[in-house]
Structure 1
Amino acid sequence: MLTGLKSLVRKATSLFTSPEEQTYPIIIPRNDHSLSRQNLSPNAVKVLYRLNKAGYDAYLVGGCIRDHLIDIEPKDFDVVTNATPEEVNNLFSNSRLIGRRFRLVHVTFGREIIEVSTFRASASHDEESSKPQESLKGKDSARSSHGIVLRDNVYGKIEEDAERRDFTFNALYYNVKDFSIHDYCGGLADIENKQIRIIGDARQRYQEDPVRMLRAIRFAGKLGFDIEEATAAPIKEMAHLLDHIPPARLFEEVLKLLGSGNGVKTFHLLRQYGLFRYLFPDTEALLQSGWKRDDIDPAAFIMQGLINTDNRIQSGQSTAPYFLYAVLLWPSVTLRHEEFQAQGMPATPALHQAASMVLDNQVAATAIPRRFSTPMREIWDMQFRLPKRYGKRAFMLLQHPRFRAAFDFLLIRELSGTELDGLGAWWEAFQHGDENEQRELIKSIDLRSSNKEGPKKRRPRRRKKSNATQSEISEE
């Protein structure tokens, strides 16, 4: 696809000697590109046609066009229109208005949701100028004291909408009326050059929304593109602005960053640009300290966890968000557990206290819903229960709802260098053995345990005192 894209871009820009002379939009007619309705969600096409039929302009925008041109199967189909959110909501009975920061409409088709937004102008748009003033249908915008956009519902024209998007390759629009692609900011050329370039001044755009720094990293990890020099330059200096982003929003960003099949590369980029410490402050501090123990090397463990997660996702399997967070926080739990035990606390209460402390610290950076923090605790707790396989315990542990996740977690520990005396192989055999094989495995553990302990010492039998002795004592 990129080979065809080169000729497409050259043809579209052949009249201009330099990028500065290029005029936009570049319009690529249907015959000159490969994106067709067969590549699109039928439900997204339905939304486009109904908006057009009602007299509104409507386009597909951003990721679905970009991904198709890069030979990645499009998954998210976002629609943009000149209809207001209220007008879109009135047009579709299967829709609902969402969002306060950005007013959007979700049109629902079973499990698929088509997100529809209204063309937006910049929140700093000069409302005194006559021409842009005509395009505004809403004037609802607000910024924090740090310059972060808190609300951006200032509506405008498609040209203004393109200028306020984050990266050039996300300012590509598909017009279903004539099946043409419209490039407003040079996104086609940047895809050809495999680079991520922000639209406008990088410092100003990161100030407006610091999450754009995370998105630059995510696209670099996902697409294998380089971050253009001017786009990359301010990131380390401005990374601290992530402290002013709501933890709930950062939780979702972490799942996109590290839970999409490109976690290893993304993890390295996050640390390289100084962003990881604002997502996982305890974990980054521990990695920086170089702390390790015989039973855990934090850097090796996290890397192995990300490798396993990437492999699962790339092979079409799913992974739970709580598992990813459990991996990233386990080294900190291990350190705190050691500290509490050194203070004289028993192992199990020390583990629970360690888990609570680590989770309390983490939610200040990225919120973790209770439906995720509870299974995280269970996975950690199971690491201390899985070695105890005596008698009926093995069968009970096998029935635990979190057994499979805890077992996978155990394997990551072993693969990262933790010596657990063949525990992973034992549980692998136990899971797949028949009842007799399972009993033999338990018997082998019981035997090994008794051999380690040596022959049991018999308690001396307590002799009952005779009645005569008892009467003598009572007389005295």
Structure 2
Amino acid sequence: MAGFAWAGQSGAGVSTHLDDRLLFDGDECLSAPPDRPVPQTADGAEPVAVMPPDDLPAGYVHAASSLGTTLPLRAGALLDLSGAPWQPLIRPLLGAVHAAGHRAWLSGGAARDLVADVPLHEVQDLDLAGTVPPGRFADVTRQTLRAMGMSEFRTTITPSSLVCSVVRPKSNSRLIEYRGLSKGGFHFPVVGSRLAEDAEYRDFAFNALMYDVLGHIVIDSSGTGLDDLLGQKRRFTPQNVSTDPFTQAEVVLRAAKFALRWCEGSPLNLASVDLAPLKTWIAALPPALCQMLTRAQLNGLKTMYHRTIRASPQHQREFAARLPEPGRKLIETLIGGAR
């Protein structure tokens, strides 16, 4: 087995496990997912791989309490945070995923901020990653919502990314987002990889961390995320192996977002972060990165940049000046005429 694809249609109604497609080695040459539904039982199947995170070296998986005696308590408090959009659903949903034979973990900013001891009320979103194919996740979520008396909430799947979202009724406001472990090498979106491969499609090692709230373990999928996050200087180690110019530009933008957030102050305190790995990565990007973006892509990046960057234009330019040319030119273009 090589992974899972999704053959549903956006806006075509409720997605189910019947929309999931099983992939084998050799399907990389296909232009679209094959008509191969995922079997509903494991009868007759022979296991050829272990369940994540057992696919990682032992040194990549840590008991949460070894990183701080209060970390398991903070994780529970985050799930139960009063007024948080995810609070009514998250514990029953994680239990249902586990009961279905799959795993799901806190990922992205939620896992990073939890480990970094950020005040819980500052955690804005709850992202999940796991082993469940998208259609099956929609099934499990819908059943959980029904059991919780929340049937009016919707579960959506974004075809271009296979991100599953639980959405409030008559609104685009999201309770949680989930995505399977990213897998590359196909001409369409695929999930179902190993944790180490998933880390290669995250932006930075500190954002490849995951937290298992059932077993209270911290998963460092890249092997350097904890050191990067908790070291004397917060280190920016790019992970994404994509050669797509838009994806590369997104990583540069997100570097600006995090660096300017963590180094805010007057003057800008960039001495508190280690940008050396980021600079090495940017220096290897195409010199004409900006010119390789379409007008629509560049406009989308500008919108994203001005929505997420809160630092003064002066601090934005100070950060841009520290980057090799492809990154510097991109950030200067995104800043535009800001004063």
Q: TM class by shorter-chain length?
A: 0.5 to 0.7
Question: Alpha carbons of 1:248 and 1:65: their partners in 2 closer, same or farther (altered >3 Å)?
Answer: same
> 2:253 aligns to what?
214
**Could you tell me whether the CA contact under 8 Å between 1:28 and 1:182 is conserved in 2?**
yes
Is it true that 1:198 corresponds to 2:238 in the alignment? yes
Q: Distance in 2 between matches of 1:267 and 1:68?
A: 30
Residues 1:52 and 2:90 are matched in the alignment: no
Contact 2:228–2:236 (CA under 8 A) maintained in structure 1: yes
Q: 1:169 aligns with which of 200, 206, 223?
A: 206
Query: What is the CA deviation profile of residues 257-309 of structure 1, one whole-angstrom value per residue up to 9, with x for unaligned ones?
Result: 324x677533532465222343255x2xxxxxxxxxxxxxxx7xx2xxxxxxx
Secondary structure at 1:105's aligned position in 2? Answer: strand
Percent identity (aligned): 20
Alignment of 1:69 with 2:115, yes or no, is yes
Amino acid across the alignment from 2:329: G
Q: Which of structures 1 and 2 has the larger relative contact order (alpha carbons within 8 angstroms, sep 6+)?
A: 2
Distance in 1 of aligned mates of 2:139 and 2:276: 45
Q: Distance in 2 between matches of 1:249 and 1:174?
A: 31
2:262 to 223, 239, 244: 223
Structure with greater Cα Rg: 1
SS in 1 for 2:176: strand
**Distance change in 2, residues 1:140/1:81 (3 Å):** farther
Q: What corresponds to 2:330 in structure 1? A: 275
2:180 to 96, 101, 118: 118
Residues 64, 264 of structure 1: CA spacing in aligned structure 2 closer, same or farther, 3 A cutoff? farther
Equivalence map 1:349-388=2 (5 Å): none
Please report the TM-score for the alignment, with normalisation by the length of structure 1. 0.44
2:257 aligned partner, one-letter code: R
Task: Map 1:66-465; keep pairs closer than 5 Å.
Answer: 66-72=112-118, 73-93=122-142, 94-108=153-167, 111-121=173-183, 123-124=184-185, 139-141=186-188, 152-185=189-222, 186-193=224-231, 194-199=234-239, 204=243, 208-224=247-263, 226-235=273-282, 237=287, 239-240=289-290, 243-244=293-294, 246-247=297-298, 249-259=300-310, 265-270=315-320, 272=322, 273-281=328-336, 283=337, 302=339
CA distance in 2, matches of 1:242, 1:262: 28
CA–CA distance in structure 2, aligned partners of residues 197 and 117 of structure 1? 22
Q: Which has the larger displacement, 58-67 or 33-42?
A: 33-42
Q: CA, structure 1 residues 87+235, in 2 after alignment: closer, same or farther (shift >3 Å)?
A: same
Residue 56 to residue 263, structure 1, CA distance change in 2 (3 Å)? farther
* Structure 1: runs of 5+ lacking an equivalent: 1-21, 125-138, 142-151, 284-298, 303-476
Q: TM-score under structure 2 normalisation? A: 0.60
Question: How well do the aligned residues superpose, as a CA RMSD in angstroms?
Answer: 3.1
1:28 pairs with 2:74? no
Aligned letter for 1:266?
Q
8 Å CA contact 2:105, 2:128 repeated in 1:
yes
The alignment covers a number of residue pairs equal to: 236
Distance 1:206 1:275 in 2: 11
Q: How far apart are the structure 1 equivalents of 2:168 and 2:59? A: 32
Q: Distance in 2 between matches of 1:84 and 1:263?
A: 42
Could you tell me which runs of 5 or more consecutive residues in structure 2 were left unpaired when the two chains were aligned: 1-55, 80-85, 143-152, 264-271, 323-327
Bigger helix fraction? 1
